[in-house]
Structure 1
Amino acid sequence: MDHKQVSHAILMPVCAASRWTAERYKAEAERRRTLRAERKPLVRDARKALAVARKADPERTKPGTHKAERELRQAQRAVPDPMWLFTAKTAAVVGAAGYVGLPHVPESVWLWSAVAVATAIVGAVVVAVVLAARQPKGLVPTAEERQLLQRLAPEHWREHAEARGLAGTLTGRPELTDAGIVTDVRLDGTWTAAKLRTAADHVRALLGCRSSLRMEIKTGERGGWAVITLRTRSAADGDDLRWSPSARTFGIDTITGEHVTVPLGERLLIAGRSGAGKSVASRPLLFDASDGPTNALVILDLKMVEGRLWDHRARVASTPADVVAVVAELVEEQTERLAVLPKGQATWRPTAERPRITVVVDEGAEIVTAAKDALEGLETLARMGRAACIDLWWMTQKPTIGDGIPKQIAPQISTAICLAVRTPAEARVVLGEDAQAKGWTADELPAPGVAFVRDGKRKPHPINVRFMDDPQVIALPDEPIWHGPQVAPVISMRKPPEPPAAPPAESTEERVLRVVQGGGGPVRQKDIAEQSGLPKGTVSKVVSRLVAAGRLVRLDDGALTTARTEATA
């Protein structure tokens, strides 16, 4: 029993030391891998720079060439060896030194060397423990965040709130998170979260924060409290937002770091002012809508820019006539699907022959202006297309009801994606009348590439959207292009053009003169009545007027002939 206790007492420190050594080895190996990944590109750049310098100076006489050589050597020295190579080199050096020098070392040197090594190890452990204890726990605030944390402290707020018009409010203890600084605010008297939101400029002045720093003021979890959030950092910082087949999400939540997806089968409204990145941000969604045998994409693009990139994967209509024709095909396809939809089945099940169709209106304001005959069909698709698996996505730079979004389509939207817009009114049109009060402040979003997604499930968290550039879209593989049933041309509801005006009716005088002139000689009055079809009384009156006017001449026998001027004319 005593022997086991002694063995255990000896093995425990040895095992602990072994675990510590293994952990340190892994940590050092990871550190070296990270440094190599960071610094090897610098070596490649230095080699390229040296190659250019040597090409321009093959004799290596110029200072620039020598400088490039020095920079390459410095970059190479900065790249550490991998841990296995470092260990092998160390073992080789120690082995060689021991093989050569150990037989000549006196015993006293061995003794004091062992003491020195043991002392150094103990000292190193003590220093490591002290340094680890001094390391700050959690997130390390930046200089700006330290200043804001100090000014959000209750002591500082209480001292300066009244001078800034914020008397009756008091902050709690601020907290630094992955998404910025968050603090609760107690509201006394007549203060509410909405009133504090209108006093945001006073809050900024008290904190002394920069005007471009995004600040959110929302209702707290309890009555009489609000929450102030300063977005000094993003949970998406450092993430690569370039789209790739392995990174096919819509974007990354800047608050939680969650990868956000927008599923197919939703009626979307995608809005954002010019330059907000609307077209580029929608491309990952267009890829999903055109990917696979059971998905088909239709793009109505009167601007003739974005649709041209997708014409190898989508049916593209780029003229008003084409838009009207394609919409008519879609309505006919919808009607046929709903007519054969089995009893008890709520939605169409996409197949390769009849896939899910996503209809994308690239710029809604252009459709409203230039292709009005297609609006009735698009409104029908918005109301009834979901059951037939024909989904409408409406995109616009002008999110106003009537101009950019038809009144019959806006209420049918189930998911809204809003990038930066110009005014709070536009944000309310896209995200709802309660958008501002609930934190959906799209007019404060930075541009480009940041959006809100409101689908009834998500909170008002800004999303850094992924992007696809033009070469990526063009390089995508081809997909079958959808074509629907041929339908008769759409009859325009516009008022038809007026027919050309009929020539003015021939007067009775002109008719009588025409008969007399065509008679080839004197004509009797009864013959004029027969040939002109006029009543005899009317002919008598007209003849009397023409004779009195000198345009007809009555001969002695009563016949009538034209005057000389009429005859010569």
Structure 2
Amino acid sequence: MHETNPALSAVVIDTTPAKVKRLSGLRSATTNTLDALSPACSPLAARWDAEADRRHALRTPENLKKLMDAQRAHTSARSTAATAKAQRTAARAASKNPLSTARRSAATADKAARKHRTSARAALKTAQTNYPSTLASVAVRAHALHVIPAGFASWAMSTPADWATWPASLSIAVVAANAGALWLGRRAVSVQVEDDGLSGEERALMERLDPTYWVQHAEERLLSGTVTTPPQMTPAGIVCGVRLDGKWSVSEFKAKAESVRALLGMKTETRMEIGKGSQGDWARIVVRTRSASDGMSMVWTPEHTGLGVDEVTGDVVDIPLKPGVHVLLAGITGMGKSVSWRGHFLKAMADPEWTAVVLDPKRQEAIGVQHAVRAVGQEPNREQRMADIYGLIQELTKEMHRRQGVATGADWKPDGRPENRFLLVIVDEGAAIIRMAKDKRYADVLDLLDELWGEARAAGFQFIWATQNPTKQGGIPALVKDNMSVRISLTTGAGEHERAVFGENAQATGWAPSTLEGIPGRALIQYGKRRPDPVRMWNVTNDVMAALPKADPWQSPAVVPADSPEAERPALRLVKDRPAESVPAARPATAEAPAAPATNRDHVLAAIRDGARTNRDVVDRTGLNKGSVSKAVKALIETGAVVKDETAGLILGGAEEVSA
């Protein structure tokens, strides 16, 4: 502790000399500069060392012996050729007759000697190739070709005081550059990776993805011509860009995925994705050592928004609740298609300007939401379900026509009345609707859907089409498919199904839901400029759906106008064989509510009079059990008090009608 001022004992005083600091900073800067230059020189050093090793491997005693034999043979052949040439010259001088025996013999010998010399020279070249000079000696001879002339030129052009003029200095610079490049290329660069909570596997992968390591070892895996950028650790794992030279394309690099895994020493179970980078000559490697949704509960709560979480960025992924932004939702059975649309459904339920309509040939979803929204498909009898679904599609078409007739602008605007809210229409199994069209009773159902998809945006409709079979032949009408703004796919089959959802270039552009590994709730969402990064969808449980508040289901005024006399009393009907005075008069309209009915029949009749159109509606309104309602409705139909219309459903009739 400080003797005079104890407070100074807590102060840390830097006593390092300024000169030491400067030297340390210079050393650090030099190291960083050399580390940056080493990857650029590494290919040169690698090629140099490979060529040196090749030459060294050929310099065997056997090849040396062959070279020496070839040199002797070549020397002998040259001597023989020179002697033959001299003899031919002497023969020409001795005789003027070209056909003389001496001249012809000398010419033949000369030609044979020259031919032998040529073959000996070729053999010598082959032997020299098989026993090459060392690369260092070749480099020395090459540099000597410019160093020696440059030295003489500098000596001749200058005085001893300035012998370093440009010829010599330039030549020396070339030699130094060669030696320096080799030194830098062979320099071992230590890759520094910041910890930041990295696992041992992640640290090793990031070190090998660093460009200093990659460039030095890429050629070993036939990946020369590719250079990585410094890798980044993201919530979804390691992300690294790869620059590709002219001979590479993204698809070719993707085909080398096994070589990349080998270069990185990656575990077999570690997921890796290779796709397009930010530019045409760049690729992107994503090593899924982590997920942004790791450790996150995907069970939906009221605090959650959107459809789910992007596994790469950790951002919430959402789509707009907006008329005309239709959604295609595909996925094989068991992947969670119905659960995947529930998040968007809840958004609509929370907005007072929206309501939902559910068409569910499978029953389960319709049963779960029938207390809160208009739902069809919950009936146990399949024929009844199909008839109800067809009737609702007809009703939606009539509602669209009604809104087109009363709209005052280009877009539909809710006016606060329940029947005029925006409609989120969910078709949860489109393939069943396609099969339904094969029944002649519902032959026009696809025409109705085409009309809805083509015109319903301006009437305030948004559709979600969910299907297991996303092909035009099996699960999506052509016009419906072509008018999808959002495409969501959980795991599907490869090939045709992927192209049906994301287009003909789906796999080439990374939209390959067949690679989602069959994990329920894991999807690709294509909307706007989203990348093909996996999304973990919120799991909206059945308990959440069951807890939705009970509400009156939406009904179209185009089928039962709420303010027309027909809503208060049944249509007129001619009754035969009855005197006119015996026909009951129409009930006067009163502002007071009718007295409470005393029997099940009265309860059911009152419910139908108040707008119930199906047995389920009557059950919801009266609280009676289904058996009692079914028995009462059957009795009322038999007496003529109720009529079951194919389009409108249950309406008053018989004794409740006034004869014409």
Band of TM-score, shorter chain: 0.5 to 0.7
Please tell me whether residue 338 in structure 1 is matched to residue 404 in structure 2: yes
Please tell me whether residue 351 in structure 1 is matched to residue 423 in structure 2: no
Q: Distance in 2 between matches of 1:313 and 1:347?
A: 24
Q: Which runs of 5+ in 2 are unaligned?
A: 13-192, 378-384, 561-644, 648-660
Please tell me whether residue 140 in structure 1 is matched to residue 197 in structure 2: yes
Decide whether aligned partners of structure 1 residues 274 and 209 sit closer, same or farther in structure 2, where only a CA change above 3 A counts. Answer: farther
* CA deviation after TM superposition for structure 1 residue 139, in Å: 2.3
Deviation digits for residues 436-494 of structure 1, max 9, x if unmatched? 3333232212411112221113222221111112122112212321122328857xxxx
**Which residue identity does 1:282 align to in structure 2?**
W
* CA deviation after TM superposition for structure 1 residue 308, in Å: 1.1
Q: Distance in 2 between matches of 1:169 and 1:224?
A: 10
Q: Distance in 2 between matches of 1:352 and 1:294?
A: 9
Decide whether aligned partners of structure 1 residues 172 and 457 sit closer, same or farther in structure 2, where only a CA change above 3 A counts. Answer: closer
Q: Distance in 2 between matches of 1:329 and 1:479?
A: 20
Please tell me whether residue 214 in structure 1 is matched to residue 274 in structure 2: no
Decide whether aligned partners of structure 1 residues 406 and 172 sit closer, same or farther in structure 2, where only a CA change above 3 A counts. Answer: same
Deviation digits for residues 406-449 of structure 1, max 9, x if unmatched? 11110011111111212143223212333333332322124111
Decide whether aligned partners of structure 1 residues 375 and 247 sit closer, same or farther in structure 2, where only a CA change above 3 A counts. Answer: same
Q: Give the 5 Å matches for 1:14-413.
A: 139-158=196-215, 160-265=217-322, 266-318=325-377, 319-342=385-408, 344-349=409-414, 351-353=416-418, 354-372=420-438, 373=442, 374-413=445-484
Q: Distance in 2 between matches of 1:299 and 1:472?
A: 17
Identity percentage over the alignment?
37
Equivalent position SS for 1:386: helix
Equivalent position SS for 1:358: strand
Range moving further from structure 2, 202-211 or 376-385: 202-211
Kept in 2, the 8 Å contact 1:291–1:479? The answer is no
Counterpart pick for 2:529 among 457, 463, 468: 457
**Which residue identity does 1:273 align to in structure 2?**
I
Q: What residue in structure 1 maps to residue 544 of structure 2?
A: 472
**Which residue identity does 2:417 align to in structure 1?**
A
Decide whether aligned partners of structure 1 residues 362 and 211 sit closer, same or farther in structure 2, where only a CA change above 3 A counts. Answer: farther
Equivalent position SS for 1:306: helix
RMSD of the TM alignment (CA)? 2.8
Equivalent position SS for 2:549: coil
Decide whether aligned partners of structure 1 residues 238 and 330 sit closer, same or farther in structure 2, where only a CA change above 3 A counts. Answer: same
**Which residue identity does 1:334 align to in structure 2?**
M
Kept in 2, the 8 Å contact 1:293–1:352? The answer is no
Q: Give the 5 Å matches for 1:434-449.
A: 434-446=505-517, 447-449=519-521
Equivalent position SS for 2:227: strand
Q: Distance in 2 between matches of 1:489 and 1:149?
A: 68
Kept in 2, the 8 Å contact 1:139–1:177? The answer is no
Kept in 1, the 8 Å contact 2:353–2:414? The answer is no
Counterpart pick for 1:418 among 489, 501, 517: 489
Q: Which runs of 5+ in 1 are unaligned?
A: 1-8, 17-135, 491-569
Equivalent position SS for 1:167: coil
Q: Distance in 2 between matches of 1:289 and 1:248?
A: 12
* CA deviation after TM superposition for structure 1 residue 221, in Å: 3.0
* CA deviation after TM superposition for structure 1 residue 394, in Å: 0.3
TM score, norm. by length of structure 1: 0.59
Kept in 2, the 8 Å contact 1:348–1:387? The answer is no
Kept in 2, the 8 Å contact 1:290–1:479? The answer is no
Q: Distance in 2 between matches of 1:332 and 1:455?
A: 30
Decide whether aligned partners of structure 1 residues 387 and 13 sit closer, same or farther in structure 2, where only a CA change above 3 A counts. Answer: farther
Kept in 2, the 8 Å contact 1:452–1:462? The answer is yes
* CA deviation after TM superposition for structure 1 residue 223, in Å: 4.7
Deviation digits for residues 64-113 of structure 1, max 9, x if unmatched? xxxxxxxxxxxxxxxxxxxxxxxxxxxxxxxxxxxxxxxxxxxxxxxxxx
TM score, norm. by length of structure 2: 0.51
Q: Distance in 2 between matches of 1:320 and 1:256?
A: 43
**Which residue identity does 2:328 align to in structure 1?**
L
Decide whether aligned partners of structure 1 residues 441 and 214 sit closer, same or farther in structure 2, where only a CA change above 3 A counts. Answer: farther
Q: Distance in 1 between matches of 2:495 and 2:358?
A: 29
Equivalent position SS for 1:285: helix
Please tell me whether residue 482 in structure 1 is matched to residue 554 in structure 2: yes
Decide whether aligned partners of structure 1 residues 412 and 405 sit closer, same or farther in structure 2, where only a CA change above 3 A counts. Answer: same
Decide whether aligned partners of structure 1 residues 289 and 229 sit closer, same or farther in structure 2, where only a CA change above 3 A counts. Answer: same
Decide whether aligned partners of structure 1 residues 15 and 477 sit closer, same or farther in structure 2, where only a CA change above 3 A counts. Answer: farther
* CA deviation after TM superposition for structure 1 residue 13, in Å: 10
Q: Distance in 2 between matches of 1:341 and 1:211?
A: 61
Q: Distance in 1 between matches of 2:529 and 2:280?
A: 23
**Which residue identity does 1:243 align to in structure 2?**
W
* CA deviation after TM superposition for structure 1 residue 261, in Å: 2.1
Count of matched residue pairs: 362
Q: Distance in 2 between matches of 1:476 and 1:211?
A: 46
Kept in 2, the 8 Å contact 1:347–1:388? The answer is yes
